[in-house]
Copies of this chain bind each other. A is one copy, B any other.
Amino acid sequence: MRECVIATYRLGLAASDDLDKKAKGIALGQTVGAWTPLQQMDPAVWERHRGEVLSTERPAPEIGIVKIAFPTANCETDIPSLLTMVFGKVSLDGRIKLLDLEFPAQWITKFTGPKVGIAGIRELLNVPARPLAMAIFKPCVGLSPAQLGEMFYPLGSGGLDLIKDDEILPDLPAAPAEKRLEACLKSIGRIERETGRKILYALNLTGPAGSLVQRAEELQAEGANCFLLNVLSYGWETLEEIASDPRVKIPIMAHPALSGALCASPEYGMSYPLVLGKLMRLGGADIVLYPAHYGTFPFPAEDEFGIRDALRKPWNSSEHLSPAWPAPSVGIHPGMVPRLLADYGNDVIINAGGGVHGHKGGPQAGARAMKQAVDLALAGQKFDAALPPGHEELATAIQQWGIK
């Protein structure tokens, strides 16, 4: 019995296309074959390494759905080698999209997956059950470390659990990561002294080629308690390197930067649930950001929920992997919280930018509104009824942005 990864593809077809032949072309072309019959290898070896078409379906004349089994004997146990095997060259061969990958149970145990995960972050924050709330620094590029540190305090003291760098803020001379960290740690310390609450600051991990793990260790030594990583910009190799390094102990928040380039087309590329769900979790992300379907970016609901499930649920053979946090984002405001909790339950990080900073009462009021929204929604209170006293900030947010 061969151990195989199963890949599901969507092919765009012309009426005259022979789907079975195309499927076989992928199965052999990505494993043992070439475009003309060549010198044959030992039949037993051919058998061990050949790809196999498991099924073909043609739900419409112009669409083919194909499942192909690839022996794990053909790849190493990392995402770059896996993706080269299942979608390297064939990604260039016409209208083809990689929809899903299923992994064999034994093989997946070779991946570390999320080191901190849902349970670990709940422990770090000392929040055993409720949903978490997060805000982004807005604006971010152009601010000094002191300004960012000052912006941190009202957000955190207003009740948020995590605050993240904007993904577009790298290590600029006017705001180096060390200085941002130092400034935000001051606010974290102050909030902890005042309230006893812990807060995570997702510090954008960037830097010259080859230095990122060392940089991660240095920043961790200086007190960093969470990293933001633009995984698709820096590469899967970088995520896996940092996540699998036992010296890096703090959570990794994966940003979806560039994922639209890879996933947004219905006919080409790879699916969002595969890229931002399964592969991020396999590669070791503890938190993954992505657009909510009712936010300001066009994003299909099925992709949002596909990512959610791939991050949290046991999927084919993922029992070994810790669940990771879904963090639906982009255009989130307090009036959306009941809907978010209905869709996600409690294991969700609700992430807002303008929906906190744009609050008429300022960012601290915005943070309070978000925390009030979470607590009130958890208590089952409807937002369109009169709100109980002490929820003035939420009332203002609902007045500003409505309920969605």
Contacts and interface: CB of A to CB of B under 8 A. Distances in A.
Given A88-B258, A91-B264, A92-B297, 15 more contacts: A34-B354, A36-B357, A37-B358, A41-B147, A80-B235, A89-B256, A92-B299, A92-B330, A93-B298, A94-B264, A208-B240, A209-B240, A209-B244, A262-B262, A265-B265
| Residue among A34, A89, A256 with max Cβ neighbours from chain B (10 Å) | A89
B34 A139 contact: yes
14 contacts: A34-B357, A39-B139, A49-B142, A83-B257, A84-B167, A84-B168, A85-B168, A93-B297, A94-B298, A209-B237, A210-B241, A210-B244, A234-B237, A237-B238
3 closest cross-chain pairs (CB), A and B = A235-B235, A88-B257, A91-B260
Nearest to A136: B34
A261 B363 CA distance: 40
Interface in A309-344: 330-331
B257 A261 contact: no
* Tier of interface size on chain A: 35 or more
A138 interface: yes
Given A209-B78, A260-B96, A261-B91, A36 B235 contact: no
A212 interface: yes
Copies in the complex: 2
A38 B268 CA distance: 37
Nearest to A363: B39
Interface in A188-212: 206-210, 212
Contacts of A30: 168
A contact face: mostly helix, strand, loop, or mixed: loop
A41 B234 contact: no
Contact of A260 (B143, B168, B268): B268
A231 to B, nearest CB: 9
Given A143-B41, A210-B241, A88 B233 contact: yes
Given A35-B353, A172-B73, A296-B35, A257 B291 contact: no
B75 A256 contact: no
Interface string A240-263: 110011000000000111111110
A260 B30 CA distance: 14
Given A88-B167, A168-B85, A39 B141 contact: no
A138 to B, nearest CB: 4
A84 B210 contact: no
Contacts of A107: none
Interface of A: 30-39, 41-42, 45-46, 48-49, 73-76, 78-81, 83-85, 87-96, 98, 138-139, 141-143, 147, 167-168, 170-172, 206-210, 212-213, 230, 233-238, 240-241, 244-245, 255-262, 264-265, 267-270, 291, 296-299, 330-331, 353-355, 357-358, 363
A10 to B, nearest CB: 13
A8 to B, nearest CB: 15
